[in-house]
Structure 1
Amino acid sequence: MHPAEQHFQYLTRRHFFGQAGLGLGSAALATLMGNTAAVAAPAATANPGLPDLPHFAPKAKRAIYLFAAGAPSQLDTFDYKPKLDDLFDTDLPESIRKGQRLTTMTSGQSRFPIAPSKFKFEQYGQSGAWVSELLPHTAKMVDDLAIVRTVHTEAINHDPAITYICTGNQLPGRASLGAWLSYGLGSTNADLPSFVVMTPSWTGRQQAQALYNRLWGSGFLPTRYQGVSLRSSGDPVLFLSNPPGVSTELRRRMLDRLEAFNQKTFEEIGDPETRARIEQAEMAFRMQSSVPELTDLSGESKSTLEMYGDEVTKPGTFAASCLLARRMAERDVRFVQIFHRGWDQHGNLAGDLPKQCHDIDQPAWALVQDLKERGLLDDTLVVFGGEFGRTVYCQGKLTRENYGRDHHPRCFTIWMTGGGIKRGVVHGETDDFSYNIVKDPVHIHDLNATILHTLGIDHRRLVYKHQGLDVRLTGVEEQHPVEAILA
């Protein structure tokens, strides 16, 4: 099919749904007035997704991604290497490093001294997974997890690496994972966005890499599919509240008139972005009721709050974000992504890493237990991981008590649980230095293909024509879901 013809058909389809959505303005007002029956039909077409998706029966209906931005050290958390203790401060053999590309932070070092982890490890659960003392709560749930120790990437610096794993390409401009899911699967909640992002505070190293909104952007997809960021103070979403002197009724009349103008423009020009503006304005109006209800934790039981830890009632913390993620899962928000920063331990790892692990350990465990207790874990995918790993050799000064680690893309660890994932599994092996993969490598494209698979999507068939190319989240190489961890 010629690209122009395909584009025309795309606009025609959007035009159809645009006409079907003309009643959204009155429907939203009816919702605020409590007339839920009046909004049932229009809400169903608010974001229907692609007609041929899912490609097969999904095991998960929604996903929550706990992203540790800055790259956690796999050597100090999940990838136990006891033989390193006898190699303290000896140089990493060239036969292991194999001329690997280095960052500018360690390329000038004359030595690459081996730094064993100073933290204790034990085996847990039926799987016998090794877990560091830094993650005592995570250790209790290893039989719920699939721990993958052999994820790898080509990117060696933070910004391209995070962009790569979130959008499938190291260069900006591509659609993010959440945007792909929103585009392909649509939304089952007309009053909340299908893709929500949170960026909580952290207690470790405060000099953290910036997070750009392209990590949850829609790229070449229509902007309606980009993630909506929830803020920790003030309005949860910018400009959600009416300005002083503007009542709900006046805002409704303004939106109705604006919709009429935009609809006329859409009919004349057919630009999908015009349709997106109409829908985003309506979503913002509905969110004036749905978001305050979402963020109101007064109905949560004392036992639930205690499970998430002391910081759960403090807005903007990782604990509070995890509880909100569970509340969004209950409301069928398609994809929630929480970016927790501060994992970039080039120095003072012994001081900063325990703080980072303390931030996420109990809340992540509580999120999984909470989902399980409410019967949501079976159809909710939960993922935890960063953009790459850390080196076995020390950056800077090495002592028995403290050390730093540089970026390491050749192997790192993530864990997954929930819908579609086999539990109590440890997948993949690295060498004695946690430097190279010796068994079952998992590229980040394979990881994203696995996430899509649990949600009923064949990653090879989720494509979007852009600049004459059929673009996929997982690139053009031959990638596969990780069958060994699929339920």
Structure 2
Amino acid sequence: MNRRTILSRASTGFGMAALAGLMQEEAQASLVHRAKRFAPKARSVIFLYMSGGVSHVDSFDHKPMLKKFEGKPMPVAVKKTQFNNNGTVQPSHWDFKPYGQSGIEVSDLFPQIGGVIDDICQLRSMTAKFSEHAQGNFFMHSGFPFLGFPSAGAWTSYGLGSESRDLPGYVVLQSGGAATPHGGVGLFSNGFLPAQHQASIVKADEAEAVANIRPRQPHDLQRRQLDFIGAMDRRFASTTQHDTHIEAAISNYEMAWRMQAAVPDLCDISGETEATKKLYGLDDPEPKKAAYARQCLLARRLVERGVRFIELSTLAYNLGGGNAANPWDHHGAIKEGHGKMANQIDQPIAALIKDLKARGLLDSTLLVWAGEFGRTPFAQGTNGRDHNPYGFTVWMAGGGVKGGHIYGATDEFGYNATENVCTVYDLWATVLHLMGLDHEQLTYRFGGRDLRLTDVHGNVLRDIIA
């Protein structure tokens, strides 16, 4: 609908509130990428981010050779690690066993995720360029190792817009006590994209899930104020050739208005059955597990409401080097630390997959499970593991990928990716492809260059697509 039609409708009695809504829809459409799209496999992404780096050799990549060489020096050259306090070969602290019809082995860290392994596609040959947390987090989120570039969630919102009129296209869920991973809120930034594509952070277990979400003025007064401000802003925008930053600000004002009703409704889970709450583990006596379970349940509710990209956050136990920003970062006491973290996420994530599948939503929802790197097959000190970006596991489920499938491999020690080596660029190229976007066409002109999530790299991993 063009601007002339909108103004014509307003003049024939459509009303100022309707006019504001129509102008908002026009502004929002102008801030979404116009590149050609193709039939998507998925409509939403749930990014299950494991900040700190999960040990792949203790979870999804079984390496019996580690047991054979236990306590011995690594028989291959050891690359520089972050702390260089490198010990001997350390086998997994957990047994592995096959699950499902696929017979894929999963460690005893994740028995419930093992139970849904036939819905999961493992990428066991992921690599990253950085072994430090902040750089690794930025790289995994944006394809660049530093602040200022849009995250994958922002690119997805920019490429597709939102199917929800009342909620943002990109939402990050956090629980009370959770810290943003190293790198800060810039990890969820829109960067140089229009501001409507940055993440909205929702505190999943707090009375006021978004700051100031509860109106402090009567509804009609607030609406009149917003209409007045919007009219002034639109008049100013018309003098700037409708600058995208101004249009984004107008769009965000209107979105904030509608979120006042949408967010409390989202977070009110009283209508969920007791069986559903129990499935996720909301009744668990361990508070961090119950908090993560609530995030997973809200992720499903966000998908139902048409939100494009949802990211979840884990909570730390401060064991063996793990801290609030890097809950999986266990440079010492990895058995205790990884054990607690796995207990926190195993049941809720498995429940999320089961719940989405039961509701007919898994085929159109792509789950991505990843940290910024893996961990070394040899000890740091005596009982921890250092960072390892040279070969590690991420997995995807639903959204058009092959379930019960393994892609790529590391060497017999789980140290280096050796077969079908994958990069972060390949991961996001594939995610965008499954969402119906060509990663090479999804660009934004900034600083004299057409920039994109995958920089000048990336290949769609077509062998994992169902």
Using structure 1 for the length normalisation, give the TM-score: 0.86
Map 1:87-126 onto structure 2 (within 5 A). 87-93=69-75, 95-97=76-78, 100-103=79-82, 105-106=83-84, 109=85, 112-126=87-101
2:245 alignment partner in structure 1: 273
What is the SS of the residue equivalent to 1:65? strand
Measured after TM superposition, the shift of residue 43 of structure 1 is 7.4
Measured after TM superposition, the shift of residue 359 of structure 1 is 0.8
Partner letter of residue 176 of structure 1? S
1:233 alignment partner in structure 2: 206
Inter-partner Cα distance in structure 2 for 1:132 and 1:28: 57
Measured after TM superposition, the shift of residue 126 of structure 1 is 2.4
Partner letter of residue 136 of structure 1? P
Inter-partner Cα distance in structure 2 for 1:154 and 1:381: 25
Inter-partner Cα distance in structure 1 for 2:35 and 2:176: 36
Query: CA distance change for structure 1 residues 484 and 20 in 2, over 3 Å: closer, same or farther?
Result: farther
Q: Indicate if the aligned counterparts of 1:21 and 1:46 stay in contact, CA closer than 8 A.
A: no
Are residues 1:330 and 2:299 paired? no
Measured after TM superposition, the shift of residue 163 of structure 1 is 0.2
Query: CA distance change for structure 1 residues 159 and 227 in 2, over 3 Å: closer, same or farther?
Result: same
Map 1:180-195 onto structure 2 (within 5 A). 180-195=155-170
Q: Indicate if the aligned counterparts of 2:6 and 2:23 stay in contact, CA closer than 8 A.
A: no
Inter-partner Cα distance in structure 1 for 2:309 and 2:134: 22
Deviation sequence 1:354-379 (CA, Å, 0-9, x none):
11001111110111111111111111
Inter-partner Cα distance in structure 2 for 1:426 and 1:463: 31
Query: CA distance change for structure 1 residues 216 and 303 in 2, over 3 Å: closer, same or farther?
Result: same
What is the SS of the residue equivalent to 2:395? strand
Inter-partner Cα distance in structure 2 for 1:14 and 1:119: 61
Inter-partner Cα distance in structure 2 for 1:16 and 1:356: 56
Measured after TM superposition, the shift of residue 433 of structure 1 is 1.0
Query: CA distance change for structure 1 residues 87 and 233 in 2, over 3 Å: closer, same or farther?
Result: same
1:443 alignment partner in structure 2: 423
Greater Cα offset, 346-355 or 228-237: 228-237
2:351 alignment partner in structure 1: 366
Inter-partner Cα distance in structure 1 for 2:64 and 2:234: 65
Q: 2:378 aligns with which of 384, 388, 393?
A: 393
Inter-partner Cα distance in structure 1 for 2:50 and 2:278: 23
Measured after TM superposition, the shift of residue 16 of structure 1 is 8.9
Q: Indicate if the aligned counterparts of 1:28 and 1:286 stay in contact, CA closer than 8 A.
A: no
Q: Indicate if the aligned counterparts of 1:305 and 1:312 stay in contact, CA closer than 8 A.
A: no
Inter-partner Cα distance in structure 1 for 2:460 and 2:119: 19
Inter-partner Cα distance in structure 2 for 1:233 and 1:467: 40
Measured after TM superposition, the shift of residue 406 of structure 1 is 0.4
What is the SS of the residue equivalent to 1:122? strand
1:257 alignment partner in structure 2: 228
Partner letter of residue 220 of structure 1? F
What is the SS of the residue equivalent to 1:465? strand
Inter-partner Cα distance in structure 1 for 2:450 and 2:408: 32
Q: Percent identity?
A: 37
Inter-partner Cα distance in structure 2 for 1:327 and 1:226: 20
Partner letter of residue 406 of structure 1? D
Are residues 1:411 and 2:402 paired? no
Deviation sequence 1:234-283 (CA, Å, 0-9, x none):
4211121223xx21111111111111111111111233222111111111
2:116 alignment partner in structure 1: 141
Q: Indicate if the aligned counterparts of 1:326 and 1:367 stay in contact, CA closer than 8 A.
A: yes
Q: Indicate if the aligned counterparts of 1:43 and 1:190 stay in contact, CA closer than 8 A.
A: no
Inter-partner Cα distance in structure 1 for 2:423 and 2:444: 22
2:465 alignment partner in structure 1: 486
Q: Indicate if the aligned counterparts of 1:201 and 1:318 stay in contact, CA closer than 8 A.
A: no
- The Cα RMSD (Å) is 2.7
Q: Indicate if the aligned counterparts of 1:154 and 1:409 stay in contact, CA closer than 8 A.
A: yes
Are residues 1:168 and 2:143 paired? yes
Greater Cα offset, 189-198 or 225-234: 225-234
Inter-partner Cα distance in structure 1 for 2:36 and 2:160: 7
Deviation sequence 1:302-350 (CA, Å, 0-9, x none):
1111110135897981110000000011111111111225100111111
Unaligned runs of 5+ in 2: 316-326
Deviation sequence 1:178-222 (CA, Å, 0-9, x none):
1111111011111111110012368xxx99954511111100111
Greater Cα offset, 81-90 or 383-392: 81-90
Deviation sequence 1:101-138 (CA, Å, 0-9, x none):
321x22xx3x5311111211101122221101010100
Are residues 1:289 and 2:289 paired? no
Q: Indicate if the aligned counterparts of 1:96 and 1:435 stay in contact, CA closer than 8 A.
A: no
Measured after TM superposition, the shift of residue 407 of structure 1 is 0.5
Q: Indicate if the aligned counterparts of 2:282 and 2:294 stay in contact, CA closer than 8 A.
A: no
Inter-partner Cα distance in structure 2 for 1:117 and 1:293: 44
Using structure 2 for the length normalisation, give the TM-score: 0.90
Query: CA distance change for structure 1 residues 463 and 276 in 2, over 3 Å: closer, same or farther?
Result: same
Inter-partner Cα distance in structure 2 for 1:122 and 1:24: 64
Inter-partner Cα distance in structure 2 for 1:294 and 1:67: 21
Inter-partner Cα distance in structure 2 for 1:228 and 1:207: 15
